[in-house]
Amino acid sequence: MTEPNKRQVPRIVVIGGGTGLSVMLRGLKEKPLDITAIVTVADDGGSSGILRNELQIPPPGDIRNVLIALADVEPLLSDMLQYRFNSGTGLAGHSLGNLMLAAMTDISGDFVTGVRELSRVLAVRGRVLPAAGQAIVLHGEMIDGTIVSGESNIPKAGRAIKRVFIEPANVEPLEEAVEAIRSADAILIGPGSLYTSIIPNLLVPKLAESIVESEAVKMFVCNVMTQPGETDNYSVSDHLAAVHAHIGHHLFDYIIVNDGEIPPQVQMKYAERGAKAVHLDLEEVTRRGYKVIADRLVLFRTYLRHDAARLSHHIYQLVESWMERKEVR
Contact (CB, 8 A) for 187 and 211: yes
Nearest C-alpha neighbor of 173 from the set 210, 124, 219: 210
210: left (phi over 0), alpha (psi -120 to 50) or beta: alpha
- Residues 235, 301: Cα–Cα separation, whole Å: 24
DSSP per residue over 29-50, as a string? TTSS-EEEEEE-----SHHHHH
Look at residue 88 in the predicted model and tell me its pLDDT. 78
Please give the pLDDT value at position 19: 83
Residue pair 176/148 in contact (Cβ under 8 Å)? The answer is no
Name residues of the chain where pLDDT drops below 70.
Answer: 1-7, 328-329
Model pTM greater than 0.85? Answer: yes
Q: What is the rounded distance in angstroms from the CA atom of residue 207 to the CA atom of residue 165? A: 15
Nearest partner of 95 among 76, 108, 82, 106, judged by Cα: 82
For residue 329, the model assigns a pLDDT of 63
* Long-range residue pairs from 72-79, CB within 8 A, at least 24 positions apart, any chain: 72/122, 72/123, 72/124, 72/125, 73/122, 73/123, 77/122
Cα–Cα distance for residue pair 198/157, rounded to 1 Å: 19
* Percentage of residues in the chain having pLDDT higher than 70: 97
Per-state percent for the chain, helix, strand, coil, to nearest 5: 40, 20, 35
